[in-house]
Chains A and B, each alone.
Chain A
Amino acid sequence: MIAGIPLLPAILLDIIGSAANIVFAFLAWRYARSLSRRQPGNFVWGYLFYVTFAIAAFTISRAVGHLVKQFLLIAGQGAIWAEISPYSGGFNTLFMISVAAVMIFYHKGVQAYQALEHEAGKLKNANRDLAAVAAQLRDLNQTLEQKVEERTEELSQSEKKFRHLFSASKDMVFFSDADNRVVDMNDSGFEMLGYCREEDSVLQITDIFADPDDRDAFAARLSLDGYIKDLNVDLARRDGKVVSVLLSATAIIGEGGEILGSEVIAKDLTRVKTMMEQLAASEKMASVGQMAAGVAHEINTPLGIILGYTQLLMDDVQEGSDPYQSLQVIERQTKASRKIVADLLKFSRQSGSTREEIDLNDILADVVAVTEHTLGLSHIAVHRQFAEGLPRIDGDPEKLRQVFVNLVNNAHHAMLDQGGGELLLRTRSENGEAVVEIRDSGHGIPEKHLAKIFEPFFTTKPVGQGTGLGLSVSYGIIHEHGGTIGVESPVHDQQQGTLPGTLFRVRLPASGSGTRQIADRFGAQA
């Protein structure tokens, strides 16, 4: 019996252990493969996959070698194992080296890759940051462009708005520089002053003021206060006429406090002045009318008595004798006085009148029939433009006939001096009113007389040729009919422009309109 330690446990452990090693190594590789497939981008799992693969190859080669060895030796085939053994050992060594190589080289490769990836990540982040900054810049740029566009559009709109305000204003607006030169003026300004925009000559503020005192006051107040509000001055037109304006101005102050120029707005007050004068005249006419009514009543009675007694005395005196002729003079003058009184009563609407529905075209036709012959003798051509369907009016035909005869006679007299002319009688309908226009081509009415022509006893005719009551009476009659009468001289025709002569425009409310309008207190409303 040989005493010794049995090697059977080592043999059994080798067999069982080798089998277990194959199982564990294979399972580990399976899990690593599953990991790397599940997360292909994870380099750690990729590394572990290759490591476990190498370990599994090594373990299997070793374990298979051990198992083959054990089973061959158990089977008594030691010689076969002796032949295989070098190859088994060689492969075992080879795989062991492979495991070490994979562990180190692949790991370093992974590290290098991770380092590269890290750098690439930093670059990617930097690129992302750059892209974000670029996007922000682009957005900012776009926003800026959009804002610039919006601001430009707003400025354009604002400029357009103020340019329109400047150019379309009916008031004079102009800018001057430090040397008092007018650098820009709107069309209304040029029109008001009678200048032409295309002219090369530079307009000076000093040229505009009619009164040197006004010019000095303008300069002094602008320099002192920096602005001027509602300064009433007269401006000189190019043709020498004077335009009354209400002027407001603001000084343009530079950064150093110096005056660089001024902005001036001037409103034409000529029309307002005319209206004020007409208003005053109208008030005066109303007073005169009341006074005339009282005076006429008082005078009418004694005149009747004088006329009655004169005619009685004429019965007692022989015809043809000197006293008779004297009494005839008294009778004639008394009758003339009574006519004046009657006209005054008509002007003050104290005389009686009838009312009926009439056609103004018929009235005008009657007037032309009566006056055309006389006008023809004075070489005055009469033109009729009677509108069809002219609204009928309620009125006194006799009184209205008298009005139009008065107006035609005035036109006749206006054209006598120039040896003839043209008279236009036109009717039309406007806003439910009947409008009658009587236009002559005479010398016209001076501007200073326009506000006075409807005043009683105002006349430009020589003494003895007119009482100055014709237009006053006409005014009273038209007023009594609820209408208005106006005058325009010279005539502003929409198609032909400004024409010499005078135009009287009578507006009368249509019949049944119920609009017996308030009398035109301003008379000259065209």
Chain B
Amino acid sequence: MIPACLRILALTPLVTVMLFCQDAWALQTHGGIEGVVVHQVAHIQYLGALGYLLWDIRRSGFAGVGWLYLQRFCWLMMIWNGLAFIGHLAQMNLSEDAVSTEDGYLSALLLLPVSFGRWLYYVTALDHLVITPALFFLFLAMRSFSRAAVSEKMEDGR
């Protein structure tokens, strides 16, 4: 069952993050790349939740522009999660000499030759091209619902 699986996925990182501090009096220490792993798992969980929401919206047969916008939000947000997941992997695999900041941070360069890993890092660094439209569609969806509710109330008022 999807909810049961996602419930486990949701609880595991949460507990892990709460015990993230290095100096915490825990029975088990959580150093190394554990933070990245938790973050990546969280991306997968987020993606799964969005997929579930998308499936549920389509299953419920909600009609209207607002629901269409919300579906687009889900799609783009799922894409973004995937992109971020890949981006984190690409960043982890990027060598320290791949980026040069000799002329300052704003003049940083992704050094040549551009391998697949470096190219992947560069592309995923532009993830706002996906997440920003996704949130824009979320805004449009909510605005559409709100306006529909207002006009419905006005019609009821007449």
Expressed in whole angstroms, the Cα–Cα distance for A315 and B125 within the complex equals 191
Measured between beta carbons, the chain A residues less than 8 angstroms from B38 are 93
Q: Within residues 31 to 54 of chain A, which ones have a CB less than 8 A from any CB in chain B?
A: 31-32, 34-35, 38-39, 45, 48, 51-52
Instruction: Tell me which of A13-21, A332-340, A489-497 binds B.
Output: A13-21
A34 to chain B, nearest CB (A): 5
Q: Mark B82-122, 1 if CB is under 8 A from A, else 0.
A: 00000000000000000110100111111110100000001
Expressed in whole angstroms, the Cα–Cα distance for A8 and B110 within the complex equals 10
Interface residues contributed by chain B, number (CB under 8 Å): 53
Residue B138 contacts which of A5, A55, A104 (CB distance < 8 angstroms)? A55
Tally of A-B Cβ pairs under 8 angstroms: 163
Measured between beta carbons, the chain A residues less than 8 angstroms from B108 are 6-8, 11
**B126 in contact (CB, < 8 A):** yes
B118 to chain A, nearest CB (A): 8
Q: Write the chain A residue with the least CB distance to B16.
A: A93
Check if A11 sits within 8 Å of B106, measured CB to CB: yes
Residue A104 contacts which of B10, B105, B110, B153 (CB distance < 8 angstroms)? B10
**B129 in contact (CB, < 8 A):** yes
Measured between beta carbons, the chain B residues less than 8 angstroms from A103 are 49-50, 52-53
Expressed in whole angstroms, the Cα–Cα distance for A14 and B111 within the complex equals 20
Expressed in whole angstroms, the Cα–Cα distance for A3 and B99 within the complex equals 11
**A160 in contact (CB, < 8 A):** no
Expressed in whole angstroms, the Cα–Cα distance for A13 and B145 within the complex equals 30
**B71 in contact (CB, < 8 A):** no
Q: Write the chain A residue with the least CB distance to B103.
A: A2
Check if A10 sits within 8 Å of B145, measured CB to CB: no
**A96 in contact (CB, < 8 A):** yes
Instruction: Tell me which of A22-30, A150-158, A446-454 binds B.
Output: A22-30
A381 to chain B, nearest CB (A): 108
Describe A's contact surface by its main secondary structure: helix
Most buried by B among A16, A28, A108: A28
Check if B14 sits within 8 Å of A96, measured CB to CB: no
Measured between beta carbons, the chain B residues less than 8 angstroms from A35 are 142, 145-146, 149
Residue A96 contacts which of B46, B106, B143, B149 (CB distance < 8 angstroms)? B46
A42 to chain B, nearest CB (A): 8
**B139 in contact (CB, < 8 A):** yes
**B29 in contact (CB, < 8 A):** no
**A512 in contact (CB, < 8 A):** no
Describe B's contact surface by its main secondary structure: helix
Q: Write the chain B residue with the least CB distance to A21.
A: B135
**B79 in contact (CB, < 8 A):** no
Residue B99 contacts which of A7, A17, A28, A34 (CB distance < 8 angstroms)? A7
Expressed in whole angstroms, the Cα–Cα distance for A93 and B39 within the complex equals 5
Q: Mark A89-121, 1 if CB is under 8 A from B, else 0.
A: 110111011011101110110000000000000
Expressed in whole angstroms, the Cα–Cα distance for A12 and B105 within the complex equals 12
B154 to chain A, nearest CB (A): 12
Using known A-B contacts A16-B128, A108-B3, determine if residue A2 contacts B109 with beta carbons closer than 8 Å.
yes
Expressed in whole angstroms, the Cα–Cα distance for A101 and B143 within the complex equals 24
Measured between beta carbons, the chain B residues less than 8 angstroms from A51 are 53
Q: Write the chain A residue with the least CB distance to B129.
A: A13
Q: Mark B21-54, 1 if CB is under 8 A from A, else 0.
A: 0000000000000010011001101101110110
Measured between beta carbons, the chain A residues less than 8 angstroms from B50 are 103
Q: Write the chain B residue with the least CB distance to A18.
A: B128
Check if A74 sits within 8 Å of B145, measured CB to CB: no
Check if B109 sits within 8 Å of A99, measured CB to CB: no
Expressed in whole angstroms, the Cα–Cα distance for A17 and B132 within the complex equals 6
Check if A92 sits within 8 Å of B128, measured CB to CB: no
Residue A8 contacts which of B17, B106, B114, B146 (CB distance < 8 angstroms)? B106
Expressed in whole angstroms, the Cα–Cα distance for A4 and B52 within the complex equals 41
User: What are 29 A-B pairs with beta-carbon distances under 8 A?
Assistant: A2-B102, A4-B110, A5-B114, A7-B108, A7-B110, A8-B106, A11-B106, A20-B132, A24-B139, A28-B139, A32-B142, A32-B145, A34-B146, A35-B149, A45-B149, A74-B106, A90-B17, A93-B42, A96-B43, A96-B45, A97-B45, A100-B6, A100-B42, A100-B45, A101-B14, A101-B49, A104-B7, A104-B49, A107-B53
17 further A-B contacts with Cβ under 8 Å, apart from A4-B110, A31-B145, are A2-B111, A3-B109, A4-B100, A13-B129, A14-B125, A17-B128, A21-B131, A24-B138, A28-B141, A31-B139, A31-B146, A35-B145, A38-B146, A48-B142, A93-B42, A100-B6, A100-B46
Chain A residues with a Cβ under 8 A of chain B: 2-11, 13-14, 16-18, 20-21, 24-25, 27-32, 34-35, 38-39, 45, 48, 51-52, 55, 59, 73-74, 76, 86, 89-90, 92-94, 96-97, 99-101, 103-105, 107-108
Q: Across chains A and B, which 7 residue pairs bring their CB atoms closest together, nearest first? A: A17-B128, A4-B109, A31-B142, A100-B49, A24-B135, A103-B49, A10-B125
Chain B residues with a Cβ under 8 A of chain A: 3, 6-7, 9-10, 13-14, 17, 20, 35, 38-39, 42-43, 45-46, 48-50, 52-53, 56, 99-100, 102, 105-112, 114, 122, 125-126, 128-129, 131-132, 135-136, 138-139, 141-143, 145-146, 149-150, 153
